[in-house]
Structure 1
Amino acid sequence: MSSEQDAGTTVEPDTPPLPPRRGLLLVLVALVVVTADIITKIIVVATLEGERPVRVLGGLAYLQLVRNPGAAFSMATGMTWVLSLIALAVAGAIVWILPRLRSAGWAVGLGLVLAGALGNLSDRIFRAPGPLRGHVIDFVSVFAPNAEKFPVFNVADSAITIGGALIVLMALLGRDYDGRSTRAAT
């Protein structure tokens, strides 16, 4: 018997500990991005209502208020309630994954997607014309005003896009949300 075992301690095998849960990181990312989305929408509604598009960055982007009843690219304009239910389902799925989340990359990606879903869902719930039918506030048009070159979007839309790209990258790298590698050991 070793002196460590005599002292009442046990010797653990040489296995690395699991990374800590990343739920707090996900929540922090989501809170920061949802807050940014809400604040920018309040500012846009207060300052751009009834105004012409504002050219910024030498015409690289234009700021303008657009009330979007649909999804990206103005698709599904008559199905706002369905988009609301999809956002709720996405949020529910992310909450379901939360206890098993051990990957920082996945935590950031899912936090961004959650923030985007909640940011646009809040518009659909609280903005006119009514609950689950509200129009989303979009305000960035790139390369030209009035969505001439690319659809007008907001912080929430950007978060969904960046979060989705990060999740795809994590999957391509073989990293699972629970910290395991999905690539076969060689």
Structure 2
Amino acid sequence: MAEAERIIGTPDSAGAEEPAASDETVAADGTATPADGTAAPEERPRGRRRIVALFVVAVLAYLLDLGSKMLVVAKLEGHEPIQVIGDLLRFDAIRNPGAAFGMGEAFTIIFTCIAAAVIVVIIRLARKLYSLPWAIALGLLLGGALGNLTDRIFRSPGVFEGAVVDFIAPAHFAVFNLADSAIVCGGILIVILSFRGLDPDGTVHKD
């Protein structure tokens, strides 16, 4: 009798063998998260580090852009262009009231509002950021947007209508600045991350 019970199992023993319900969910990156949706303690510092990385990249991009523009205005504006690589690349100070690469000169205020909106969206998105590549990409966008927005606000002809200082002039291409370069690089990185299925929260999805 005891041998038969051992083989088929009694109700009590069956209940004892059932695994306990899991109190965690596992994200696509393998990170366990409590079922109530709160982040595990070790995840919070990781998220903060990504936010720090975003703002470090943004500050570096912004300071490089701001410093280069100040130097161009002080040393190059009103002077002959500087040939850097023969006829392929020169530095030529130009005031641009339009968007990146000289487009849309009649919509300065609109571009100013768009830049401000982009900055707000990036700052809000930073709260859910757990991916270092996304932090770098968003930091480049944020630094570039802040760089050109600074020109829009503080340069002539007036607040929100200021002309952006451009100076990098490749042959047969529009003149641009370091802020434009940061924005383009950040945008390209975001496209690559999206194609690879990596989300800002660190999870990976495949369509």
Smaller-chain TM-score range?
0.7 to 0.9
CA deviations on 1:55-85 (whole Å, 9 max, x unpaired) are 0033331001000000124222121111110
TM-score by length of 1: 0.85
What runs of 5+ residues in structure 1 fail to find an aligned partner? Answer: 1-11, 144-148
Distance in structure 2 (CA, Å) of the matches to 1:104 and 1:65: 35
The share of aligned pairs that are identical, in percent, is: 43
1:136 maps onto 2:164 in alignment: yes
Distance 1:99 1:73 in 2: 32
Moved over 4 A (4+): 12-15
Shift of 1:16: 3.6
Is 1:179 paired with 2:207? no
Q: Give the unaligned 5+ runs of structure 2.
A: 1-22, 33-42
What is the total number of aligned residue pairs between the two structures? Answer: 168
Map 1:91-110; keep pairs closer than 5 Å.
91-110=119-138
Please provide the CA RMSD for this pair. 1.8
**In 2, Cα distance between equivalents of 1:97 and 1:16:** 20
Per-residue deviation, 1:51: 1.1
CA distance in 1: counterparts of 2:87 and 2:103, whole angstroms: 26
Larger radius of gyration: 2
C-alpha separation in 2, matches of 1:164 and 1:176:
14
Say if 2:101 and 2:176, in contact at 8 Å, map to a contact too. Answer: no
Question: Aligned to 2:95, what secondary structure does the other structure show?
Answer: strand
Matched, 1:72 2:103: no
Measure the CA separation in 2 of the matches of 1:68 and 1:182.
Answer: 40
Mapped to 2, the partners of 1:81 and 1:54 lie a distance apart of: 31
The 1-side partners of 2:177 and 2:74 are apart by: 15
State the AA in 2 paired with 1:162: C
